Amino acid sequence: MENNKVCMLTTSHNPFDVRIFYKEAKSLQKDRYRVSIVAPYNEKINKDFEGVHIITITEKNHLLKWVRIFYEGLRLRANVYHCHEPISLLLCVIIKILTGRKIVYDIHEYATYRHSYWGSESKKNNLKQINFLINGMLPKIESFLFNFVDHFISVDEIIAEEELKNRNYTVIPNFPSLYFGKDYLKIENKTENICVYIGGVSLDRGSLNIIKASKIIKEHISDIKILFVGEFSEDKNEGVLNYVRGNNLSQNIFFTPPVYYTEIPKYLNSAKIGLMLYQPLDVYFKCVYPIKMFEYMLFALPIVSSNFPRISQTINKEKCGIAVDPASSGDIANAIIYLIEHPEEAKKMGENGRKAVEEKYNWGIMEKRLLMVYKNLTK
């Protein structure tokens, strides 16, 4: 196959990011594309993993890191450069100017989050050299760079509608693969009353309200356990640990550090209920396809979710959980108690979710969209 060399270039995701490596890169590699990923990481790597070539950059200084990522990407002379955030888009545009190669821009987040992230990074790392990019200019610069992109990929329709009108784009949500954790999917008969939350743990993602709900639940179900699996830092969870200690919840609340993607299934499989209680912020309020929702559904877990219109639309349509006010620990507690005390109804919700993922919310369907994008770009 000619014109089949692809470089996934990222300045903020690690090389084994679920979407970048496990889904997009492996799907392209399976279809006989020669795929490389250039990404920052805490370990130096320059070798193949499962057919995908990984090149990592260990520089801590951001400007030096970006220069190295640019150099490694340019050196690969790929036919298509697939970037994932504003800075990597800038690097790919420079490569395109120098080589004439094509660009795919894969937009994972809403504009306000993409731009605020770089603002916080510049302050955290004292990057005075790029402050001019941050103070109101990054959105304009990114919009200008859009003119060099050959095809856009968006994780949901909202980003496409708001930012990509009159441009070539394909919506490819981050749905799970049906093979994800397949060794666990047949195991049933769960006896422990475990609720699981997968992902970064923070106040804006509902950590404190979930824990407050556990105090209420404990009065009815003494052995309730809430398992948080993901990165936890005290600066993003002010008051959380004090609340756990002060309310005698140490035997009910458990924090597990981030685990490899391939280890997530065992935690999902141990639980009876999946939790997704994003707080009412714009970035979450508009969210259509949060990946954890569909991973819970894949594992037949009934979901207790935020009652935002777009999320609850899926929850209600598929009859796979209960949508509640995420700011109300009482509402969260009542939903969890109801599901535990009505196991047959909870099981039916889980089965509904599993069926919906098998039929329409899975990466196998999204893979076809991705391959069509590349077929058109490389023909």
Q: What is the pTM of this model?
A: 0.90
pLDDT at 164 over 60: yes
CATH number of 5-174+363-378: 3.40.50.2000
Which pLDDT score, from 0 to 100, does residue 154 have?
96
Q: Average pLDDT in the 105-109 region?
A: 93
Which pLDDT score, from 0 to 100, does residue 120 have?
47
CATH number of 194-359: 3.40.50.2000
Q: Which of 172, 168, 175, 176 is nearest to 157 (CA)?
A: 172
The length of the chain is: 379
The two tokens of residue 257 are 């550090």
Which pLDDT score, from 0 to 100, does residue 123 have?
46
Residues 6+ apart with CB under 8 A from 330: 213, 216
The two tokens of residue 363 are 């990466």
Q: Which of 252, 318, 312 is nearest to 284 (CA)?
A: 312
Q: Average pLDDT in the 150-171 region?
A: 94
Residues of the chain with CATH 3.40.50.2000: 5-174+363-378, 194-359
pLDDT at 178 over 60: yes
121 vs 244 pLDDT, higher one: 244
Q: Average pLDDT in the 109-126 region?
A: 60
Largest CA distance in the chain: 66
Phi, psi of 316 (to 5 degrees): -75, -40
pLDDT band (50, 70, 90) for residue 348: very high
pLDDT at 363 over 60: yes
